[in-house]
């Protein structure tokens, strides 16, 4: 078991835990939604996704976003997952992100979806 992200206390007053699968999904979430420069001891960590403007999406912006996400995941999580593909869609100022990957330890294929709500934040 791993420490859950975001850090929280569970119902029994202990640090919340996450299974291996949940932990990897949380790692992906951290890479996607951390702004480079946000972490003191790892200033390069993150994807830069939160710094992009998604007002009027076009094919070039979507392609650039997919490339940015895939490169960031490969840079920071290549020892944990093998990224098979990233799909990005934009609808009414909302960014839908789907990451297809293989967990290296178990060789299982997984899919994780995330939603970026522009300036309102993100969800799962």
pLDDT along the chain (124 residues), means of 10: 76 84 91 90 88 66 87 96 92 84 95 78 47
Long-range contacts of 74-79 (CB under 8 A, 24+ apart): 76/31, 76/45, 77/24, 77/27, 77/28, 77/31, 79/104
The domain ranges of the chain are 2-123
CATH number of 2-123: 3.10.450.40
Locate 27 and state its tokens.
């790692």
pTM reported for the whole predicted model: 0.81
């Amino acid at each position: 078991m791993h420490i859950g992200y975001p850090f929280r206390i569970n119902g029994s007053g202990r640090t919340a835990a996450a299974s291996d699968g949940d932990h990897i999904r949380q790692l992906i979430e951290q890479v996607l939604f951390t702004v480079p420069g946000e972490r003191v001891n790892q200033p390069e960590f993150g994807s830069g996704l939160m710094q992009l403007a998604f007002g009027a999406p076009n094919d070039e912006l979507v392609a650039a976003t997919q490339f940015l996400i895939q490169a960031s995941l490969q840079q920071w999580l290549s020892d944990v997952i093998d990224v098979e593909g990233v799909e990005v869609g934009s609808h009414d100022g909302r960014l839908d992100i789907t990451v297809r990957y293989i967990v290296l330890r178990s060789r299982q294929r997984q899919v994780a979806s995330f939603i970026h709500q522009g300036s309102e934040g993100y969800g799962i």
